[in-house]
Amino acid sequence: MRIGILAYEGCFASEVFAVSDFLRIADHVARDNGAADTDLFRTSVVAASPEPVAAAGGFTIGAHRWHHDFELIVVPGFDLSPATDLDVRLGDLGREIDFLRAAGHRRTRIASVCVGAFLLGEAGLLDGRRCTTSWLFASRLARRYPRSTVCAESLLVADEQITTTAAFTASLDLATAIVRDHLGADVARATARITLVSENRNSQAPYVVESMVQTTAGPFAIAVQRWLVDHLTEPYSLSRLAEALHVSTRTLLRRYADEAGCSPLDFLQQARIGAAKRLLTDTDVPIGEIPRRVGYQDPSTLRRLFVDRVGLGLGDYRRQFRAC
């Protein structure tokens, strides 16, 4: 299988080499299990020119001049912060975006890691498709490419020939999926175990830090959210909330949905889950006490919501994420 990993100015070198190294190890595993050389991966790091590419942090990556003979192109993410001007950043990557657009027209398989999804979006490859990226930038991706459906909690989304993944270490989940698709589940499983890569991740929801998620809510919705956070542990009352905001319940629900895209109760549930996460990781509060601390008199309500939204039980979350 011919794979081109795209290197470009400011990309993360670790996401380039994590994929190529994992595939190389998979080749060894497959060969040891009798695979023919024609079944193995032929991986190249490619760029707009054969000159060395300055990755994020100033590290140089040697690359071959790109071409269109690949069966799969992998697009790593780049150095991005919430304050970055994406118009400027993506404007500097016009050659790469044109290359991806042309590859998309040829129906070449293309996969991105993390915010590499923005390059796919600029090339028009996310239009009408489901996709994902780092949870930190999912709302930004959705705003910029409204014709796509951003699955913010998904770790990996494949839609026809386009695959997108969550952040950074999801490059290894992508590499595992590539091996599974091309060399089979047994080789993928063995390679994952040799490299200590998790075989069962399917969601980035457990990793979300709610306070860091960017919001696009308007001023009315923000006022609602502040009130709800200030009264987090009190029973939810729509009429009391409306009274505090000096509007009718009907007006409150309509205006909040217009500005935030969900209901006040949806926000409150997510805020309570965030508070529960902090109690689980940063305190010794007994698990049985946490539901009451975040506003639930019936412990089963939080347990059910936590599993639905985070994908883990309270005890499993504490064991996995508690600070040492």
**Domain coordinates in residue numbering, the chain:** 2-206, 215-321
- For the domain 2-206, what is the CATH superfamily, name and number? Class I glutamine amidotransferase (GATase) domain (3.40.50.880)
Whether residue 89 is predicted with pLDDT greater than 90 in this model: the reply is: yes
> 215-321 belongs to which CATH class?
mainly alpha
Q: Dihedral (C-alpha) 282, 283, 284, 287: value to the nearest 10 degrees? A: -80
Domains 2-206 and 215-321 share a fold: no
Mean pLDDT, residues 103-111 taken together: 96
Q: What's the pLDDT at 202? A: 84
> What is the rounded CA–CA span in Å between residue 266 and residue 251?
17
Q: What is the average pLDDT score of the chain?
A: 93
Q: What's the pLDDT at 215? A: 66
- What digits encode the pLDDT tens for the residues 260-285? 888 999 999 999 999 999 999 999 99
All residues at 6 or more sequence positions from 222 whose CB lies less than 8 Å from its CB, including other chains: 215
Whether residue 324 is predicted with pLDDT greater than 60 in this model: the reply is: no
Q: What's the pLDDT at 234? A: 93
Q: What's the pLDDT at 27? A: 95
Whether residue 323 is predicted with pLDDT greater than 70 in this model: the reply is: no
Q: Residue 10: which pLDDT band, with cuts at 50, 70 and 90? A: very high
Q: Residue 99: which pLDDT band, with cuts at 50, 70 and 90? A: very high
> What is the rounded CA–CA span in Å between residue 205 and residue 74?
24
Mean pLDDT, residues 131-149 taken together: 94
Q: What's the pLDDT at 34? A: 84
- What digits encode the pLDDT tens for the residues 18-46? 999 999 999 999 999 888 877 899 999 99
| Sign of the C-alpha dihedral computed for residues 243, 210, 149 and 144 taken in this order | positive
Write phi, then psi, for 232 (nearest 5 degrees): -55, -40
- What digits encode the pLDDT tens for the residues 47-86? 999 989 999 999 999 999 999 899 999 999 999 988 889 9
> What is the rounded CA–CA span in Å between residue 197 and residue 190?
10
- What digits encode the pLDDT tens for the residues 197-246? 988 788 898 888 877 776 667 899 999 999 999 999 999 999 999 999 99
Q: What's the pLDDT at 214? A: 67
